[in-house]
A and B are shown apart, each in its own frame.
Chain A
Amino acid sequence: MANQRVLVIGGGLAGLAAAMKLAELGTPVDLMSLTPVKRSHSVCAQGGINSCNDQTRQLGDSEWKHLDDTVYGGDFLQHQPPVKEMAYAAPKIIDLMDRLGVTFNRTQEGFLDHRRFGGTLYKRTAFAGATTGQQLLYALDEQVRRYEADGLINKYEYWDFLSPIRDDAGVCRGAVAQNLMTMEIRSFAADVVIVASGGPGLVYGRSTMSMVCTGSAVSRCFQQGAKYGNGEFIQVHPTAIPGADKLRLMSESARGEGGRVWVPRKPNDSRAPQDIPTAERYYFLEERYPEYGNLVPRDIATREIFDICVNDGLSVEADRQCVYLDLTHIPRAELDRKLGGILEIYEKFQGVDPRDFPMKIFPAVHYSMGGLWVDYQKSAEGGLEAGSPRNQSTGIPGLYAIGECDYQYHGGNRLGANSLLSCIFSGLFVAPCVQSAMEAQQGSAADQPASLYENARQDKQSEHDALLNQAAGGENPYLLHQELGALMTRAATVVRRNDQLTEAYEKLGELAERSRNCSLSDSGAWTNQNVVFTKALKDMFPIAKSIVRGALNRDECRGAHYKPEFAFSGLESEEPAERHHQAEAWCDRFEKNTEKWLKSSVASWDGENPQIAYEEVDTSLIPPRPRLYGLVGGEVIEQVWAERMARRHGESGNGAPQESSQAAPSTT
């Protein structure tokens, strides 16, 4: 239909990919972002992007195995059709990014180089130095600039999305937004709005995320009727550099190359690390996990570091929690060769050379698996139906969500280097879906009465004016934000306990109440960051409440969600028959738990609180199986499980990846 436009909120990888694809298909796009799109949070990603590739394929890898690793890593909590579609699209996405000029590292012969990331046995990860996210984002930013020069894309940078506009029938017809410089509030008519606004790190105060990752855009859609899925699943990275302003990521490769984690055995030991003799150092990962040592899986490393500081009180510093990550035993030349880039980051921000002094690190909130609930349409092959208007739809007609802000691809836990992939994939994939939605739409945005847009604008204008003029209530939004961050970090990160969550939920209610009485210290009419921040802060509460409520309800351990009270311990008996018996019981319990909890939480907002419903997960491609990494007796459980599956499904099928001709289309 002529004159139809799409409004994309967010210009990270997901938003740029969608804008580029839509423009290529001939649809004009308005692209809105808090920052110039080139400065979006996606630039922070260092590690890389996953896909099955020519080399891994010859070692037995396939798209199907990428799918399997992703759902196994996610503890089976994601619908499998979208993940399948993504895994099969991945090699093509890497090819595309390569053609767009991304400066991927090369092999001697000039092919793309790859590294291995957690959660897989294959070297699937393509990378560009230590700045893969930046390089991918720039390539898309450049293509978008090209379409902008042709007049197909209009950018609205330094605009804050305030709300979707819904007509009487509930259809989304555009959005209200505010210019961060002039403070002008206006309506944007659009036939489809795609939200690509990234993660909500600021709900936790400080995290590894960027400063615009407030989750505000998502919260505003949520408050207007969109649903929020799997909120309780928050990934915490084991090693970050605590900073007064931000927690900066320290890559896993530091441990991969021999880094040792330790604390002084004596609480509050004030000696410099090099003066503490070996006998007085507690290499707690090596002692507690002799087999894996410092390279225990991410979630275990995170929990142990947290535990040693919070429960054992052995933090290196008295007023700040951290442990040593020590590389000083490795020769300088070797460190420079293997870890140069990331060590420079530490040096740059801490002003200390990690080749001479142990680094101080602590776990940090890193990624939200949860996000806006979105729909999908399954194809006959078990993937997605290309071009279906249901894919990535929030359920509100005309409102779509993609990238980190949707809940679709990572289930209970995201594998490293899979997020850049899901962002680009969902951005490219949504474009034709949105076009079909527009074709099917009753009446276009251009036909809507002007009053629809004017009323929506006025609502937001009055809210803004009221906030600016409200009597000083005495609450400081920045200090309130610190309180919120501390509360969330304490109750809803690594280890979760129902009493703490219950208390936190109540406290959130109080903080939300207090946030209504913020005193604005700025009445300026230009670039009033104070009022913009206060709005974002208020909108953090619906997200924070959904996270905490979801975590409170979920009485089990799954992926990043860990409640010690419900953890499955390993097998105790050493006696083979008894051990087997215990393994059977373990598997019974696992099956019962799967029955009860293999469900996504789907929150809707009632104005004060999230109401949580549960949705069955489509596990039709790969049946759920226990994640046993590091568990005592894991081998026996695995064997019992395999026998059980074999009995149930006849001949083969232990739940491990099966490339059946029906589920996986043949690739030629």
Chain B
Amino acid sequence: MSDHAANGHSDSFEVRILRQDAPGESSYWERHRVEHEPDMNVISVMQRVAARAQSADGKPVAPVAWDCNCLEEVCGACTMVINGQARQACTALVDKLLDEQPAEIELQPMQKFPVLRDLVVDRSRLFRALTRVKGWVPVDGSYDLGPGPRQSRTEQEVAYPLSQCMSCGCCLDACPQYTKIELTPGVDESAADFAARQEQTHDSAFLGAHAISQTVLFNSHPTGKVNAGERLDVLMDEGGLQICGNAQNCVAVCPKEIPLTTSIARAGRATTFRLLERWFEK
């Protein structure tokens, strides 16, 4: 294991994990010890922790729950707060983390979403925002109607980065204006009623940088434009663009390096025009 020894890391390291057994319950820290292996990322750390099912002091504990899928930073599933920063566990390399903060890695669930268990959170609000902004191209249907509108290389080069948003929510976790909403089901409330109440609450809360950026993506698509006015109206409605304080935290943490503040600025200009347009329509 010459390379990590050269980096000054020892043969094992400690992982401090903020755990929670179920929604609404209190959280607690637990320490785990993991053997160092070459090329480890936080996912492989979690796999070792799950297989061992023992805390650092040798006590049998339930495996830590966490979310992941692609392990290539394209699915957006594995977001967690690692050494204090919301990021993807699959691209968080252990050697780099240990360089940042020696001997120990600290893992917490995302802070702006309700915890379901351990590092698993409920991000349905994030997806709901995509419905709110009508994040789709309103085609006539899937019948064979020939190719799509011709687009220049430049248009593609502007749209492509925006369309790489993987709904991970790092930008939301880092945003001071995006506040956590956690509802608890009523005693007699059915699952469906609870879901509906949740949706309603989410619909008036801040959309978030990812959804604002998606409006820019669809409003610049030749066919997507058809709904541009409606999308802008959503941005001007409760929970819309006006909540953004332009703190720019979002763009700094986006793992896909999406130009979020550029999108926010473009959306800002478009809503101003929309306001005038609405005023003249009166």
- B184 located at the interface, meaning its Cβ lies under 8 Å from any Cβ of chain A in the complex: no
Interface size class of A (residues with CB under 8 A): 35 or more
Q: Mark B34-66, 1 if CB is under 8 A from A, else 0.
A: 000111110110010011010000001111010
Check A145 against B144 for contact (C-beta < 8 Å).
no
CB interface residues, A 122-151, toward B, < 8 Å? 128-129, 131, 134-135, 138-139, 142-143, 145-146, 148-149
Among B23, B75, B95, B147, contact of A99 (Cβ-Cβ < 8 Å)? B147
Check A21 against B152 for contact (C-beta < 8 Å).
no
Give bound CA distance, A428 to B143, whole Å: 10
Interfacial chain A residues near B22, Cβ < 8 Å = 524-526
Give bound CA distance, A20 to B142, whole Å: 8
- A36 located at the interface, meaning its Cβ lies under 8 Å from any Cβ of chain B in the complex: yes
Check A99 against B63 for contact (C-beta < 8 Å).
no
- B100 located at the interface, meaning its Cβ lies under 8 Å from any Cβ of chain A in the complex: no
Interfacial chain A residues near B245, Cβ < 8 Å = none
Q: Mark B76-103, 1 if CB is under 8 A from A, else 0.
A: 1100000000000011010110000000
- A476 located at the interface, meaning its Cβ lies under 8 Å from any Cβ of chain B in the complex: yes
Check B71 against A479 for contact (C-beta < 8 Å).
no
Binds B, one of A348-356, A552-560, A591-599: A348-356
Q: How many residues of B contact A (CB 8 A)?
A: 72
Check A244 against B41 for contact (C-beta < 8 Å).
yes
Closest CB in chain A relative to B149 CB, distance in Å: 8
Interfacial chain B residues near A96, Cβ < 8 Å = 142, 144
Check B156 against A95 for contact (C-beta < 8 Å).
no
- B160 located at the interface, meaning its Cβ lies under 8 Å from any Cβ of chain A in the complex: yes
Check B74 against A44 for contact (C-beta < 8 Å).
yes
- A471 located at the interface, meaning its Cβ lies under 8 Å from any Cβ of chain B in the complex: no
Measured CB to CB, the nearest residue on chain A to B147 is A95
Check B37 against A92 for contact (C-beta < 8 Å).
no
Closest CB in chain B relative to A608 CB, distance in Å: 28
- B186 located at the interface, meaning its Cβ lies under 8 Å from any Cβ of chain A in the complex: no
Q: Mark B109-141, 1 if CB is under 8 A from A, else 0.
A: 000000011101011000100110011111101
Interfacial chain A residues near B204, Cβ < 8 Å = none
Give bound CA distance, A135 to B217, whole Å: 13
Q: Mark A90-115, 1 if CB is under 8 A from B, else 0.
A: 00101110111101111111111000
Give bound CA distance, A145 to B151, whole Å: 25
CB interface residues, A 490-524, toward B, < 8 Å? 521-524
Among A135, A245, A530, contact of B43 (Cβ-Cβ < 8 Å)? A245
Give bound CA distance, A109 to B69, whole Å: 38
Interfacial chain B residues near A296, Cβ < 8 Å = none
Q: Mark B2-27, 1 if CB is under 8 A from A, else 0.
A: 00000000000000000001110000
Check A105 against B148 for contact (C-beta < 8 Å).
no
Among A95, A107, A131, A211, contact of B144 (Cβ-Cβ < 8 Å)? A95
Interfacial chain B residues near A212, Cβ < 8 Å = 69
CB interface residues, A 564-620, toward B, < 8 Å? none
Interfacial chain B residues near A104, Cβ < 8 Å = 156
Check A211 against B69 for contact (C-beta < 8 Å).
yes
Check B156 against A103 for contact (C-beta < 8 Å).
yes
Contacts A43-B74, A521-B62 hold; do A527 and B117 have CB atoms under 8 A apart?
Answer: yes
Among A39, A109, A522, contact of B63 (Cβ-Cβ < 8 Å)? A522
Check A134 against B74 for contact (C-beta < 8 Å).
yes
- B205 located at the interface, meaning its Cβ lies under 8 Å from any Cβ of chain A in the complex: no
Check A36 against B127 for contact (C-beta < 8 Å).
yes
- A35 located at the interface, meaning its Cβ lies under 8 Å from any Cβ of chain B in the complex: yes
Check B166 against A524 for contact (C-beta < 8 Å).
no
- B282 located at the interface, meaning its Cβ lies under 8 Å from any Cβ of chain A in the complex: no
- A321 located at the interface, meaning its Cβ lies under 8 Å from any Cβ of chain B in the complex: no
Closest CB in chain B relative to A105 CB, distance in Å: 6
Interfacial chain A residues near B269, Cβ < 8 Å = none
Check B160 against A129 for contact (C-beta < 8 Å).
yes
Measured CB to CB, the nearest residue on chain A to B61 is A521
Interfacial chain B residues near A287, Cβ < 8 Å = none
Among A112, A131, A181, contact of B164 (Cβ-Cβ < 8 Å)? A131
Among B47, B120, B153, B163, contact of A108 (Cβ-Cβ < 8 Å)? B153
- B276 located at the interface, meaning its Cβ lies under 8 Å from any Cβ of chain A in the complex: no
Give bound CA distance, A88 to B191, whole Å: 46
Interfacial chain A residues near B118, Cβ < 8 Å = 527
Check B53 against A99 for contact (C-beta < 8 Å).
no
- B187 located at the interface, meaning its Cβ lies under 8 Å from any Cβ of chain A in the complex: no
Measured CB to CB, the nearest residue on chain B to A92 is B144
Measured CB to CB, the nearest residue on chain A to B40 is A244
Measured CB to CB, the nearest residue on chain B to A523 is B62
- A84 located at the interface, meaning its Cβ lies under 8 Å from any Cβ of chain B in the complex: no
Contacts A20-B142, A210-B69 hold; do A245 and B62 have CB atoms under 8 A apart?
Answer: no
Measured CB to CB, the nearest residue on chain A to B117 is A527
Check B137 against A142 for contact (C-beta < 8 Å).
yes
Give bound CA distance, A523 to B62, whole Å: 7
Among B51, B71, B139, B160, contact of A476 (Cβ-Cβ < 8 Å)? B51
Give bound CA distance, A129 to B159, whole Å: 11
Check B51 against A479 for contact (C-beta < 8 Å).
yes
Measured CB to CB, the nearest residue on chain A to B96 is A351
Contacts A44-B74, A521-B53 hold; do A107 and B141 have CB atoms under 8 A apart?
Answer: no
- B167 located at the interface, meaning its Cβ lies under 8 Å from any Cβ of chain A in the complex: yes
Check A243 against B39 for contact (C-beta < 8 Å).
yes
Check A99 against B127 for contact (C-beta < 8 Å).
no
Closest CB in chain B relative to A350 CB, distance in Å: 6
Give bound CA distance, A411 to B123, whole Å: 40
Among B21, B75, B137, contact of A43 (Cβ-Cβ < 8 Å)? B75
Check B71 against A105 for contact (C-beta < 8 Å).
no
Give bound CA distance, A101 to B75, whole Å: 19
Interface residues of A (CB under 8 A from B): 20-21, 24, 35-36, 38-41, 43-44, 92, 94-96, 98-101, 103-112, 128-129, 131, 134-135, 138-139, 142-143, 145-146, 148-149, 181, 210-212, 243-246, 248, 345, 348-351, 428, 476, 478-479, 521-530
10 nearest A-B pairs in the assembled complex, by CB-CB distance: A521-B53, A98-B148, A142-B136, A527-B117, A478-B51, A522-B62, A244-B44, A99-B148, A101-B137, A39-B75
Q: Can you list 29 A-B contacts (CB < 8 A)?
A: A20-B142, A21-B142, A35-B69, A35-B75, A35-B77, A38-B127, A39-B76, A39-B167, A41-B70, A95-B145, A99-B139, A100-B139, A100-B148, A101-B224, A103-B156, A103-B159, A107-B153, A129-B164, A131-B164, A142-B135, A143-B136, A244-B47, A246-B71, A478-B50, A521-B60, A522-B62, A524-B65, A526-B116, A527-B120
Apart from A39-B75, A523-B62, what are 6 other A-B pairs with CB-CB below 8 Å?
A: A43-B70, A100-B148, A105-B156, A128-B163, A349-B91, A521-B60
